[in-house]
Every structure is written in structure tokens, then in C-alpha cells.
Structure 1
Amino acid sequence: MMQTYAYAALAFSAFTSATILPGTSEAAFAAFLYQYPKQLYGAWFCAALFNGLGSMVSYWLGRLLPDKKRPSEKVLRHLERWGVWSLLLAWVPIIGDALPIAAGWLRLNWFKCLIILLIGKALRYGVIAWSLVYLV
């Protein structure tokens, strides 16, 4: 039963961390793995999925922005140059929250954005998990 609550807390933390709300999904992910080390793949899937879905909320919010409320020029130049592949960096502090918003504002294909976001998030949590297992 406690494990179910732990998954819910991990999902909530991962989801909110990917939006403009503050969050600490890395700490929640590490704490989950410390408490339930045999649930590595389930935690990895949960964190990546909900963090990716949180970024998609930012993407859809970007679609609602009026034309005169442009994201920063730096973020726009990056997205215009690299397209959806830029979203692999949506986990990076500071610019990471702006990338999905800008992708939505630019009306990049939502399905491609979703796939790239999920891949990037899965890679990120995979590196964290690997670090916890092999370096700690």
C-alpha cells in the first residue's frame, strides 16, 4: 500500500517539476529508489512518463500564448534551428521549462514533441538511476 502512495508521490513530483511550478523530481526519484530498489524500472518509467506529460502541459500552454507574448529570442532561435530535437534538452535547468512552451508557441507537431520529450526524460532518469546504482 505504501508503495502505491510512493508511486503517486513520484508521479506528482515528476509532473509538476516539468511545468513552470517548482519541483524536485530528481530527489523524489532518488528517494523512491532508496526505499524501493527493486522497483527501478517501474520508477524510471513512472518518472519519465509523468515528467514528459508535465512538459506537454507546458507545450499546450505555449499554444495558448498570443503572438505578442513571444518566448525569449534565445530559446526561439534554438528551437527554430534544431526543431523538435531541441526538446531532448527540456530537462536542463532554466531553459528546460521554456523549450516546451516555445515549441507550443511555434506550433511544432505535438506528437513529435511528445515522443522527443519522453525520450529525453527517459534518458535523464536513466542517467540518474545508473548513477545511483553504480556510483553511490
Structure 2
Amino acid sequence: MIDFLLGLIEEHAFLGLFITSFLASTILPLGSEVFVVLLISKGFDTFTIIMVASIGNYLGACTTYYIGLIGRRDIIERFFSISREQLEKTDKLFAKYGVFLLLLTWMPIIGDAIAAMGGILKLDFKVFSFYVFIGKMARYTVLSYITVGALAGIQ
């Protein structure tokens, strides 16, 4: 059974990584980190892993941004598990740090609130995209190279 599951993961590795990364940045409390580590340990190309995970996670954040943009706080609170209090705290953080806060959309719990607040505040989508993608890619780059280093140390 384990061999079957590993074979399935390897056969659909990048599609699975993309979907997991996308969902991790939207409505499901998933972590795509395990998938990244697994693919690196299986010898998949590190650059491709970084890009697929970054793009999937970025597009998930764009979904959250869009829902905020159209003013659907009810959806954000119900399906994204972002409370009104989190949104208010994030609003204050935006007032203090500006668009640089978008670099932290990769963080658990607060990241989704940051993406949603970006939409609620109607931030320019180009600015949103630039900072969010840079933050997401930095996250997966660091994770990937820590994993590569750790695996090299094991061998």
C-alpha cells in the first residue's frame, strides 16, 4: 500500500504540489512543506519544486485577496477561519508597515488575514502580486535549501 501511494505521489508530483500549495493558502489548514520535503528527498528538481509551490501558494493568496476585494467578509470569516479580530489587527499592521507586510503572507494564521486585508483595502493588484510572490518564493527557497542541506548531511 505504501509503495502504491508513493508511486501515485511520484507520478503526479508537481500537480499534487501545486494543488496542496494552492489549498494551503486558501480555505484549508494544510501545510505544503511536507510535500516539498518529500519531493526533494525523492530527487525531484529543486528549482521546479520552488516554482510550482510558489505559484500555487501565490494563486491561493490571490483568491483570498479577491474575496476581500469584493467585500465578502462573511466568506472570509466562515470559510477561511479568519476572525474579525484578526482582520482588525492586520489592518493596524498595514497602517504601521504598509505593503511590506505582504511579504509575510506565507506565515501560518496571519498570512491569510494579510492577503484578505490586501483585498479589503483594495491594494493595487500589481503591488500585491509583487510582494506576495516574493514572500512565497523566499519561503519555499529557504525550506528547499534547508532540506537539501539536511539530506546532504544525512548521506
- Pairs within 5 Å for 1:1-136: 3=10, 5-35=12-42, 37-65=43-71, 72-136=87-151
TM-score (norm 1): 0.89
**Count of matched residue positions in the alignment of Structure 1 and Structure 2:** 135
Q: Percent identity?
A: 30
CA drift of 1:29 comes to 1.0
CA drift of 1:66 comes to 5.4
Q: Which runs of 5+ in 2 are unaligned?
A: 1-6, 78-83
Structure 1 segments, 4+ long, off by >4 Å, are 1-4, 66-71
Instruction: Pick the structure with greater CA Rg.
Output: 2
Q: Distance in 2 between matches of 1:59 and 1:66?
A: 10
Deviation track 1:13-38 (CA, whole Å, cap 9, x = no partner) reads 00000113221211111111112x24
Q: Distance in 1 between matches of 2:116 and 2:106?
A: 13
Provide the alpha-carbon RMSD of the alignment: 2.2
TM-score (norm 2): 0.79
Deviation track 1:52-91 (CA, whole Å, cap 9, x = no partner) reads 1110100001112258986622110111222221111011
DSSP-derived class of the 1:80 partner: helix
